[in-house]
Amino acid sequence: MHQTTPDGLIAPHGGKLINLLATPDEAKTLAKEAESLPRIDLTPKQSCDLEMLAIGAFSPLKTFMGSADFRSVCKDMKLKSGDIWPIPILLSVKSPPPIGERVALYAPNGTLQAVMTVGETFAHDKKLEIPSVFRTEDEAHPGVAQVLAEGDTCISGPIKVLAACVDPEGPEAFLDHRLTPAQTRKAFAEKGWKTISAFQTRNPIHRAHEYLCKCAQEITDGLLIHPLVGETKEGDIPAAVRMDCYKILIDNYFHPDHTMLTVMPAAMRYAGPREAVLHALIRKNYGISHFIVGRDHAGVGNYYGTYDAQQIFDELDHDNLGITPLKFEHAAWSHKAQGMVSGKTFPKLEGDQVFLSGTKVRDLLASGQRPPAEFTRPEVADALISWATAK
């Protein structure tokens, strides 16, 4: 049974939403102080992580991890508190400041994002983190390469955040859809939703994704389509294009009373199974009770098995996990059935089913070819081919 809040929603991970945002008066004081503080320039991933910490999406984390949490997460997928947590959230630097020093943290675009008091420094044990989190040490893996490029010392300590969204005028800020966990919870309560399923995506939603979403809608009060708009790898379709596709699809093919669209400003790790667990816990903080886990969730290349990201949930303490994973098999278009099917709903017939991955569709777009109707809705295909041919 889920622990719930007074409004009937699932409780945040750890029991309480964290809020690290400074008040307007605090922000003015901190901005003045930062002028004379040592400066740390964050990577895009670190800046995304800081926003997720600030708004409570990484609850119960109150700052970048210290050494005890780092080692516990790598080895046991738990914080030192005992709460499930699958991936280290670290601030690694090349030149660590001394303990006790106040430092200013700047986003990649030069915006002052936070002020930290350094409480701990420790060696960034990449030989522990990389195989634990990614199940590979192959430097071609984008998550592995990212960690290898980071600093060799991690710092942790109390933080006050001046700016969560550091580029509100930018093309991928999506302020009208950039709701915090507290705001999505308020919206769900106002709609009267008690159970909510969430769909995580970093790609346009194709027919198989739509099928999963609608299956989930049948068993919950509402659906949150919650695309990731933080840092992704080169070659992924830009977030602004994807958002246009989501809006087109929702307007034409979903019930507005049971569907919501907001964005999640996290960075991708491409860590497969462990990242699927992270994505579930984040959605728990947003008020989600059921989380869709499809084929090769958060995977890249051939590093993970087709259903590894589903099977990892069987290893977890479900009372502490709280959120219910919805495990779906690979879905495809069936010519005979004239619709989407899976291995559980329709037999495989030779030459009947159309399987197209996001990678194959990106290849089609790169060559100027329109994605077929069996893969995506025609209105979405129009938007995608328009973007691809305008590049």
Catalytic center residues: 202-203
3-state secondary structure of 160: strand
Amino acid letter, residue 203:
N
CA distance 56 to 89: 13
Beta bridge partners of 353: 334
Spatial neighbors of 265 by CB under 8 A, at least 6 apart, are 48, 51, 52, 165, 178, 229, 230
**DSSP codes, 282-315:** HHHHTT-SEEEE-TTTT--TTSS-TTHHHHGGGG
| Strand duo 159-161 + 112-117: pairing | antiparallel
Give the pair of three-digit tokens for residue 40: 């740390």
- Closest by CA position to 85, among listed 107, 70, 106: 70
Spatial neighbors of 333 by CB under 8 A, at least 6 apart, are 207, 208, 339, 340, 341, 353, 354, 374, 375
Contact 51, 164 (CB under 8 A): yes
| Strand duo 324-327 + 290-293: pairing | parallel
Beta bridge partners of 3: none
- Closest by CA position to 133, among listed 73, 66, 216, 191: 73
CA distance 51 to 275: 18
